Structure 1
Amino acid sequence: MASRSARRATTRSSTTRRKNLRAAVAGLRGAVTFNAPLGRYTSFRIGGPADVLVEPADIEDLVTLVRQARARKLPIFVVGGTNLLVRDKGIRGIVVSLSKLRRITEEPGSVLYAEGGVGMPTLIGYAIRRSLSGLEWAAGIPGTVAGCVVMNAGTRLGEMKDAVKAVRIVTPEGTVTDCPAEQMAFSYRRARLPAGIVAGVWLQLKPGVQADIEQVVKDYLHYRRDTQPLTLPSAGCVFKNPPHDSAGRVVEAAGLKGARVGDAQVSEKHANFIVNRGKATAKDVLALIRKVRAQVARKTGVKLELELKLVGQA
C-alpha cells in the first residue's frame, strides 16, 4: 500500500500537471477541451481521453500553443491521420486537432496551398473544380492533408510524395518554416520531415480536363467501395505489404477473414482491414492483431509489419 508521503507527492504532481496544462492553453482563440475522448477524432472511433484537446483557430494560434507548451515541457501530439489507434487510457499531455486550419488557395503554375486540417475529399473537390489533376489517387481517403503527408499516404494510383512541392511546419520552438520537397525523404508510408507540426502543404498539380479527372475519381471510388469496408470505422490498412506480395492476401490465406476479438473484426471484404463493429476497444484491436500476426507467421512464414500507428497508454 502506498505511503502517505507517496500519495501526497502524487497529488502534488497531478496538481502541478493540471496547472501547467491550463497555463499552456491560456489565451488561445481556438477550442480547448479537457479530458476529451479521442474516439470521435479518429477514423477507428476508438481511443481513451486526452488530458486536453486543442483545436487552434489558425497557424498563429498553433504557434502560441507550441511556445507555451514548450515553456512548460509538455508533449504535443497531433491527430488527423487515418492509420491511427489510440490506446484505451488515452494520451497524456496536449493533443492537437488541426480541424480549424482548412484554408485552400490556388497559386500560379497549377499549385494549391492547403492548410493541414483540410480533409482530402475537400481538397480533391477543390482541385476538380479548377480542372487540376494529380490527386485522383486519394479518392476515398478520409484523412487530412497533414496526416497524408506525415504517412506518405498512397494507393495503387499514386502517393502523396508525387504531389508535394513544399511543406509549412511549426517547429518545436514555435517558429514557422517552409521546407521544399527536395529536403524531405519519402518512402513507403513514411515521410522524413523536419521536426514539428505540418501546418500547410503546397501541392504541384497539372492542368487537366475536368470531366476526365471526375471520371478517374468516380471509377476509383467505385473500386474502393467494391473492395474495401468503407461503411464501418477502420484505420485503413493495418499491415504493410510484404515484399512482392499483399498483406490482405496472406491474411486471407491464413484463414483469418472475419476473425473477431470483441467488436474488432478482420474485414470480410478486405483482410488487411480491421473494422470496429460498434464497441471495439483498442485492447480488442491489439489482441486481434497479435492473433493475426501469429497465425500468419505459423501458416505462411510471413512476418507482418504494422502500418497502423499505436499511441497512448495501454
Structure 2
Amino acid sequence: MSRAAGKDHAARTRKDWARILAGVRGTVTYEASLQAYTSFHIGGPAEVLVEPADVEDLCRVVAQARAEHVPVFVVGGTNVLVRDGGIRGIVVSLRQFKAIRQEPDHVLYAEGGVGMPTLIGYAIRRSLAGLEWGAGIPGTVAGCVVMNAGTRLGEMKDSVKAVRMVDPRGRVVDIPAADIPFSYRRAHLPRGIVAGVWVQLRPGDHDRIEKTVKDYLQYRKQTQPLTLPSAGCVFKNPPQDSAGRLVDAVGLKGARIGDAQVSEKHANFMVNLGHARAADVLALIKKVRAAVKKVSGVKLELELKVVGEA
C-alpha cells in the first residue's frame, strides 16, 4: 500500500464506509479482531470485516471496493498469520458460504466457506471416494484450493474439477481445472476470490471410505498438534527432505518465544499456547530459519502466508 493510500484509508469515516458498502446484505463489522477468523487465533483487527450473504453479495462488495480504490483481502482458515497491526481496507470472510450440492457424475459443488471436514463428511454419507487425503485438514475449501493443500495421501489438485471465482471487477468466472497450473502448495489462479469449487469424486464402499478417513485422522492426531491453534506446516519441504526433520535436527523442537512454540509433536508446526502474538511467531520463524541455514545450509521457504501490518 502506498503512503497516499494509507492516508486515504485513515481519513475514511463510517459515513464513507456506508457509501462504499451500500446495498451489501451480509454482516459488516468495524475494527473486528481477526483472531477468531484464523486457525492460529492470532492477528490484529480488520479495518472493516465483511461477511457477504452469497456470491451476488460478494460481487457487489468487490465491484464497489474497486470503484473506490479500496483493497480487499480474503481471510479464513489455515496457512495464514495476520500481523498484530491488522489489515487495512476491506477484509472478506466467506463464513456464510456454506452450501454443498451433489451434481451428476459424482461431482460435488461446495461454496468457498465450507470446511474440508464438512465436505469429507458429506462425501462419506453419499459413499463418494476421492477426498480421503484431506482427513485432518481444518481449512476451508477455498483456502485448500488456493494453497493446493495436501497430505502424504494426495492434494487438492487431485480432486478439483473446476473453480468458481469472483474476479477483481466483481464478475463470476468459472475456471476448469485443466486451465489451472498447480504446484507444490500453490494453485496459480488469476486474481480474484474463490467462491466455490467443483470436486470430481467416484463411487466407493461407504465403510471402506470411512475407515480410511478415520485411520488417517488418527495417524495425524498422533503425529501432529491438532488440538492446539496452529496454521499447519510453517515451512515448505525442501526437495528430497523434510522441513520438520531439519528443524528437529538443530534441537529446536519445543523452542518458545512468548506463547509461540515449535510443536513438541511435529517440528514443522508452530502452535499458539494461549496468547501468542504474530511478532512472537515471526521471531520464532527467524530463529528457526537461521539455525537451519547455519547447520545444514538449507534456506527454509515459508508455506505460511504472512499478511497485514506490524
Shorter-chain TM-score: which interval? over 0.9
Instruction: Map residues 11-26 of structure 1 onto 2, 5 A cutoff.
Output: 13=8, 16-17=11-12, 19-26=15-22
Q: Does 1:274 align with 2:270?
A: yes
Structure 2 CA distance for partners of 1:69 and 1:250, relative to 1, 3 Å: same
Q: Which has the larger radius of gyration?
A: 1
Structure 2 CA distance for partners of 1:280 and 1:128, relative to 1, 3 Å: same
Equivalent residue, structure 2, for 1:217: 213
Contiguous gaps of at least 5 residues in structure 1? 1-8
Structure 2 residue matching 1:99: 3-state secondary structure: coil
- Aligned-partner Cα distance in 2 for 1:119–1:262: 30
Q: Does 1:97 align with 2:93?
A: yes
Instruction: Map residues 51-70 of structure 1 onto 2, 5 A cutoff.
Output: 51-70=47-66
When the two structures are superposed, what TM-score results if normalisation uses the length of structure 2? 0.96
Structure 2 residue matching 1:114: 3-state secondary structure: strand
Q: Cα distance, 1:20 vs. partner?
A: 3.9
- Aligned-partner Cα distance in 1 for 2:198–2:154: 17
Equivalent residue, structure 1, for 2:111: 115
Structure 2 CA distance for partners of 1:243 and 1:209, relative to 1, 3 Å: same
Structure 2 residue matching 1:203: 3-state secondary structure: strand
Q: Cα distance, 1:16 vs. partner?
A: 4.0
- Aligned-partner Cα distance in 1 for 2:158–2:145: 11
Instruction: Map residues 148-187 of structure 1 onto 2, 5 A cutoff.
Output: 148-187=144-183
Equivalent residue, structure 1, for 2:260: 264
Contact 2:9 2:88 in 1 (8 A): no
Instruction: Map residues 1-314 of structure 1 onto 2, 5 A cutoff.
Output: 13=8, 16-17=11-12, 19-314=15-310
- Aligned-partner Cα distance in 1 for 2:16–2:72: 13
- Aligned-partner Cα distance in 2 for 1:113–1:194: 20
One-letter amino acid of the counterpart of residue 50, structure 1: A
Structure 2 CA distance for partners of 1:68 and 1:232, relative to 1, 3 Å: same
- Aligned-partner Cα distance in 1 for 2:263–2:229: 11
One-letter amino acid of the counterpart of residue 292, structure 2: V
% identical equivalent positions: 72
Contact 1:112 1:205 in 2 (8 A): yes
Contact 2:47 2:90 in 1 (8 A): yes
One-letter amino acid of the counterpart of residue 123, structure 1: L
Q: Cα distance, 1:28 vs. partner?
A: 1.2
Structure 2 CA distance for partners of 1:300 and 1:165, relative to 1, 3 Å: same
Structure 2 CA distance for partners of 1:212 and 1:69, relative to 1, 3 Å: same
Structure 2 CA distance for partners of 1:134 and 1:54, relative to 1, 3 Å: same
Contact 1:21 1:93 in 2 (8 A): no
- Aligned-partner Cα distance in 2 for 1:144–1:88: 23
Structure 2 residue matching 1:109: 3-state secondary structure: coil
One-letter amino acid of the counterpart of residue 101, structure 2: T
Q: Cα distance, 1:117 vs. partner?
A: 0.6
Structure 2 CA distance for partners of 1:11 and 1:211, relative to 1, 3 Å: closer
Contiguous gaps of at least 5 residues in structure 2? none
Structure 2 residue matching 1:269: 3-state secondary structure: coil
Contact 1:23 1:68 in 2 (8 A): no
One-letter amino acid of the counterpart of residue 75, structure 2: V
When the two structures are superposed, what TM-score results if normalisation uses the length of structure 1? 0.95
Contact 2:132 2:213 in 1 (8 A): yes
RMSD, aligned α-carbons:
1.5
- Aligned-partner Cα distance in 2 for 1:80–1:304: 24
- Aligned-partner Cα distance in 2 for 1:20–1:192: 34
Contact 2:163 2:174 in 1 (8 A): yes
One-letter amino acid of the counterpart of residue 65, structure 2: A
Structure 2 CA distance for partners of 1:98 and 1:268, relative to 1, 3 Å: same
- Aligned-partner Cα distance in 2 for 1:310–1:294: 18
Structure 2 CA distance for partners of 1:15 and 1:149, relative to 1, 3 Å: closer
Contact 1:151 1:191 in 2 (8 A): yes
Q: Cα distance, 1:14 vs. partner?
A: 5.4
Q: Cα distance, 1:22 vs. partner?
A: 2.9
